[in-house]
Amino acid sequence: MTTITTTPPLRVPPAPPPGTLQLLLRLALHRPALLALNVLVWLFVHASPVLAGLFMKGIFDTLSGQATAAFSPWTYLALALSVDLARIGALAGGVYAFASYWVEVILRMRRNLLAHLLTAPGTRRLPDSPSEAISRFRDDVDDIGEYLEQWVDMWGLALFAVVALAVMFRVDPLMTALICLPLACTLLLTNALRPHIRRVRRAMREATGRVTDFLGETFNAVQAVQSAGREEALLAEFERRNALRRRTALTDSLLSELFKSVNDNMVNVATGIILLLGAGAMQRGSFTVGDFALFVSFLPRLTATISFLGAMMVQHKRTGVAFERLTALLQDAGPETVVAPADLHLKAGPPRFVDPRPATEPLQRLRVRGLGARHADGASALEDVSFELPRGSFTVVTGRVGSGKSTLVRVLMGLLPREQGEVWWNDTLVTDPASWFVPPRSAYTSQVPRLFSDTLRENVAMGRADEAGLRRAIELAVMQSDVAVLHRGLDTEVGSRGVRLSGGQVQRSAAARMFMRDAELLVFDDLSSALDVETERQLWQGVFAQREAGGGCDGATCLVVSHRRAALERADQVLVMEAGRIVARGSLAQVLAASPALRELWGEARGEALEARPGGPTSAC
């Protein structure tokens, strides 16, 4: 008998993510020619003081007569002034060159971050609040840019240090060796503080993000806080978060200042020793006045160079933290995305605009099969949800609070990740709902709509120049009377997140924005939560009137999350959800007969007799 053994395939471990220096190099090569120009200019700016020091030595040696000089004191003075003037000119040009380069690098990172968050396929949620995301766009990107700036400066400073130390070593090896002691101490101190700097910087960034997030949420909930009389509790929570941020920021500053203080004091002590040794050497005649002038002119810059190298080591750790935080923001992309090449179109102008909207395929039937999803904590959110939406139908999803209604529409739209199931648009399998369910295929109004800090017109039109469509959308959203009383009508600024509007006006503004899209599928997530019964009745009445007139949302399919009578009575299909499952479906009369919980919740508890109107609806928006 022959035994055949099979060797399992070798599992190739995933490649480790690129390190901080690798990422920085990819970023630095954004404009190689401009980078090389910056390095050369700043090389001269930082290294040219070596020449000034040598000329200074020549001046004093000539004046004192202690050493043979090749030129007169005036010649050395003219050479020193020429070097300084050339350095000033190079400094002016270097500032302009690096500013141009630095801005492009920063824009490239922010462009890549925004492009991935807006256009990458798949469903993603920000790991933290939008305010925290803004802090990462601002602070973490600036940290990376600061580290790149240090690398541009480093070459000139390093060249100065090497040449200066070589010249000083030829003059007096012992004193030169003493100058190197602070550098060694700085390196030891940096290695000791490295893990603490990384940990404290991350904690400070997180605490700052929580404060920024709290401020944003506070501005959005001013009316709710005032109506509940919870101003003191809100201020107490703000003080608590701010105190934590203050402590972490203080710890971060203390570590940085401790490093800088110890480093500077070490250099000052070494400088004092060198001055004492130099005085003795001058008395013995082995150390000239020119040598002393050379050491004195070199020492401050060597001190600054040592401090710079220590700060650069600290910034290396901060930059690593910045890349980690930006990668966490991207979630499903590596840090290479942050530094990927990108054309910013700063000089030639942007390319011709191409409408990114997909081609419209009229929706004949939307089929959902076995949809499943989980909450962030792993608990089941949806289980085996299946239904169909025929073209032109009006389907209402209803159920108790927490039954999964909003989760269902958010998973369907690709706003939350799904674990299983299929969605079919006619005969097309939708593999990426997040990029599929967009205008003109679909339009969506969330349970808590978001408005921009702009005019009401811009919030509804979103850049579309269609006055007739804008008026129709305002009418459908039952906002004519609201617009009439606003001090500037449609051109009224709504404030941050619509804070100058009431909750009902915010929801109807979002609905009007939705009606402007002319989409095949309209999805309303509890639109009526801030509307009174009469306003909601008028809104649905206007929508149906438009359809009967052959305009507006003619032929569009509506999926509505609601528990209100005005929507339920018009439904072609009602889906009753409970614990993430559809437990009843059919017409309003059918689900009321089949669901005692629904009769209790919306009939007896609300005092509304939810009975299908005679004849029932025949079609919908």
Hey, how many other C-beta atoms are within 10 angstroms of the C-beta on 550?
8
Question: Pairing state of beta strands 442-445 and 521-525?
Answer: parallel
Cβ(51)–Cβ(301) under 8 Å? no
CATH of span 363-441+522-527+564-621: 3.40.50.300
The rounded distance, in Å, linking the Cα atoms of 108 and 145 is 11
| pLDDT score at 266 | 67
pLDDT digits (tens, 9 = 90+) for 226-256: 777 788 888 888 889 888 888 888 888 887 7
pLDDT digits (tens, 9 = 90+) for 450-481: 888 888 888 888 877 788 888 888 888 888 88
The rounded distance, in Å, linking the Cα atoms of 251 and 201 is 9
Average the pLDDT over 94-117 and give the result. 91
Buried-exposed string 49-65: b where 16+ CB fall within 10 A, e elsewhere: bbbbbbbbbbbbbbeee
Average the pLDDT over 478-497 and give the result. 84
Preceding omega of 440 cis (within 30 degrees of 0):
yes
Structural domain boundaries in the chain? 20-198+251-337, 363-441+522-527+564-621
Buried-exposed string 396-421: b where 16+ CB fall within 10 A, e elsewhere: bbbbeeebbbbbbbbbbbbbbbbeeb
CA angle 368, 369, 370 (to 5 degrees): 125
The rounded distance, in Å, linking the Cα atoms of 459 and 493 is 10
| pLDDT score at 555 | 63
Sheet (strand 442-445) strand order: 442-445, 521-525, 557-561, 394-399, 573-578, 581-586
Task: CATH number for 20-198+251-337: choose from 1.20.1560.10, 3.40.50.2300, 3.60.10.10, 1.10.8.350.
Answer: 1.20.1560.10
Cβ(57)–Cβ(295) under 8 Å? no
CA angle 509, 510, 512 (to 5 degrees): 65
Hey, how many other C-beta atoms are within 10 angstroms of the C-beta on 254?
12
pLDDT digits (tens, 9 = 90+) for 357-374: 667 778 899 999 999 998
Which of 108-117, 496-505, 509-518 has the weakest average pLDDT?
Answer: 496-505
Cβ(617)–Cβ(541) under 8 Å? no
First to last CA, the chain: 73
Distances 90 to 41, 42, 45 between C-alpha atoms, Å: 6, 8, 6
In 400-499, the DSSP E strands lie at 420-425, 428-429, 442-445
The rounded distance, in Å, linking the Cα atoms of 448 and 440 is 22
| pLDDT score at 559 | 92
| pTM of the predicted protein model | 0.70
Average the pLDDT over 382-407 and give the result. 90
What residues contact residue 546 under an 8 Å CB cut-off, 6+ apart?
472, 476, 552, 553, 554, 621
Full DSSP string of 95-154: HHHHHHHHHHHHHHHHHHHHHHHHHSSS----SS-HHHHHHIIIIIHHHHHHHHHHHHHH
Which of 33-37, 221-225, 417-421 has the weakest average pLDDT?
Answer: 221-225
Question: Pairing state of beta strands 420-425 and 394-399?
Answer: unpaired
